[in-house]
């Protein structure tokens, strides 16, 4: 009886062990299947990622091909087209040198910091650089009293061909009136075809947003406010023109749109500059009137512009030019006599002036200028 009980117990244990073994085998098999499924999922995911990466790379390559094609078409059209249309700075001719100093304007004028590129629109121009002289003329609409055609005719026609080749004349239209811009472009393209074709004559247009919030003088009476705003804008017009011209030439000559250049004026200027024995000059005055006929080294223009922009609301630009001369030359507490003596050594004046002022009607409404000798 006892033997039977033992045998029964052994049998039950054997059955239990067998059942447990089967359960373990089942679980191991199930786990293996899960592992296999997991591995298959990983392999599938990896394959999908690889496919996605290849697809992304392919799309990127296709996109780059499209962009390169667009750039090619833009360049092709610019090179083949003879039309004189407005060209944004983003698609400037490959020979055009963009001055990074334009970004400095954002430091002085917070309202333009959110703007993109503030480089002027190049309406007419072939990106001429590497010349000896850049001549800048800023112009605004004066209604029926325009002297620009007369000014340009004298400036351009009284250069020799070799002088024209070694220079660039830049007309900056600093006026939001589009009709005036179009009239200037029309006049120049008809009257000065050779200079336009050779790239020796350029026309740029300044963005109106640059002036949007900087011409306020609310603390002044109405008449004084208008005059202050006009003077302020004039300073800014000159600064932008100077920055644009800086990378183009070794020297920069400031002119205005109501002067006449005398016979052989350019030959006299180049000879005079070439014969100066000392390099210790700040700027050269070829006119005593206002800001006309001031010659600068292009490498110095940035420093002049920074100074003008710091005080553009305080004084006209010709007064600021005297101030920067004073700051540059005279030491604090120095004897005035010594300062004046040293000024004469580095402030070079050419006489008689190779320019004649002809404008009577100023760009400021109602203001007239009868002084002719400059």
Instruction: Please report where in the chains the tokens 């005593």 appear, as a residue.
Output: 288
Higher pLDDT, 50 or 357: 357
Q: What does the DSSP assignment read for 147-165?
A: -HHHHHHHHHHTS-HHHHH
Average pLDDT score over residue span 185-206: 96
Q: Which position has the higher pLDDT, 307 or 146?
A: 307
* 122 within 8 A of 343, measured Cβ to Cβ: no
In contact, 151 and 185? CB cutoff 8 Å: no
- Listed in sequence order, the DSSP H helices in 81-157 are 105-108, 148-157
Look at 112-116, 171-175, 223-227, 338-342 and tell me which has the smallest mean pLDDT.
223-227
Give the whole-angstrom CA distance, residue 84 versus residue 64: 30
The domain limits of the chain are 1-80, 111-357
Return the pLDDT at 293. 95
State residue 346's pLDDT score. 75
Residue (of 358, 355, 369, 104) closest to 254 by Cα position: 355
- C-alpha distance across the termini of the chain, in Å: 144
* Architecture category of domain 111-357 in CATH: Alpha-Beta Complex (3.90)
Give the residue-averaged pLDDT of 137-154: 89
Pairwise pLDDT comparison (57 vs 138), residue with the higher score: 138
Least-confidence region, from 76-85, 268-277, 313-322 = 76-85
**20 band by pLDDT with thresholds 50, 70 and 90:** low
Average pLDDT, the chain: 77
Mean pLDDT of 83-97: 42
In sequence order, what are the beta bridge partners of 205? 121, 173
Output helix, strand, coil percentages for the chain, rounded to the nearest 5: 55, 15, 30
Distances (CA, A) of 195 to 137, 159, 163, 192: 15, 11, 12, 6
H-state helical runs in 246-372: 265-274, 301-310, 317-329, 336-346
Give the residue with greater pLDDT, 33 vs 153.
153
Max avg pLDDT among 56-60, 175-179, 271-275: 271-275
Measuring CA to CA, which residue among 99, 53, 354, 63 is closest to residue 246?
A: 99
What is the pLDDT confidence band of residue 290, given thresholds at 50, 70 and 90? Answer: confident
Q: Which residue has the tokens 């244990």?
A: 13
Where residue 26 falls among pLDDT bands split at 50, 70, 90?
low
Asked whether residue 90 carries a pLDDT value surpassing 90, the answer given is no
Query: In the predicted model, what is the mean pLDDT of residues 125-132?
Result: 95
Q: Flag whether pLDDT at 267 surpasses 80.
A: yes
Of the ranges 207-211, 323-327, 355-359, which one carries the lowest mean pLDDT score? 207-211
Task: Give 361-373 pLDDT, tens digit per residue.
Answer: 454 454 555 455 5
**Can you tell me the mean pLDDT for 275-302?**
90
Residue 352: its pLDDT value, please? 94
The secondary structure element, H or E, covering residue 131 is strand 131-139
pTM of the model: 0.69
Strands 294-297 and 283-285, bridge-based pairing: antiparallel
Residue pLDDT, tens place only, 230-249 = 688 888 899 999 999 999 99
d(CA 172, CA 204): 5
| Gap between the Cα atoms of 36 and 42, Å rounded | 10
């Amino acid at each position: 009886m006892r033997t039977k009980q033992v045998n029964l117990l052994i049998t039950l244990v054997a059955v239990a062990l067998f059942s447990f073994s089967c359960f373990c085998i089942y679980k191991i098999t199930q786990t293996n299947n899960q592992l296999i499924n997991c591995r298959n999922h990983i392999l599938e995911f990896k394959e999908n990622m690889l496919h996605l990466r290849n697809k992304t790379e392919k799309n990127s390559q296709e996109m780059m091909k499209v962009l390169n094609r667009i750039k090619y078409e833009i360049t092709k059209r610019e090179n083949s087209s003879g039309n004189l249309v407005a060209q944004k700075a983003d698609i400037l001719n490959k020979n055009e040198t963009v001055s990074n100093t334009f970004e400095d304007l954002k430091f002085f004028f917070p309202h333009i910091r959110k703007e993109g590129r503030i480089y002027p629109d190049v309406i007419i121009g072939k990106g001429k650089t590497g010349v000896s002289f850049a001549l800048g003329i800023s112009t605004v609409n004066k209604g029926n009293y325009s002297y620009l055609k007369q000014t340009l005719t004298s400036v351009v026609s009284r250069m020799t061909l070799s002088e024209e080749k070694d220079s660039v004349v830049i007309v900056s239209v600093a006026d939001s009136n589009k009709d005036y811009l179009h009239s200037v472009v029309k006049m120049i393209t008809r009257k000065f075809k050779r200079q336009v074709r050779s790239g020796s004559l350029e026309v740029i247009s300044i963005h109106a947003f640059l002036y949007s919030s900087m011409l306020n003088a609310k603390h002044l009476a109405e008449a004084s406010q208008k005059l202050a705003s006009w003077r302020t804008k004039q300073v800014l017009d000159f600064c932008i023109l100077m920055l644009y011209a800086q990378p183009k030439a070794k020297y920069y000559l400031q002119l205005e749109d109501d002067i006449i250049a005398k016979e052989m004026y350019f030959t006299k200027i180049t000879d005079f500059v070439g014969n100066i024995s000392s390099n210790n000059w700040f700027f050269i005055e070829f006119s005593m009137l206002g800001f006309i006929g001031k010659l600068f080294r292009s490498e110095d223009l940035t420093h002049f512009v920074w100074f003008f922009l710091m005080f553009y609301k305080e004084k006209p630009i010709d007064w600021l030019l005297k101030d920067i001369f004073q700051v540059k030359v005279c030491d604090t507490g120095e004897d005035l006599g010594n300062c004046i003596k040293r000024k004469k050594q580095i402030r070079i004046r050419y006489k008689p002036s190779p320019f004649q002022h002809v404008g009577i009607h100023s760009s400021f409404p109602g203001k007239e200028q009868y002084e002719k000798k400059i």
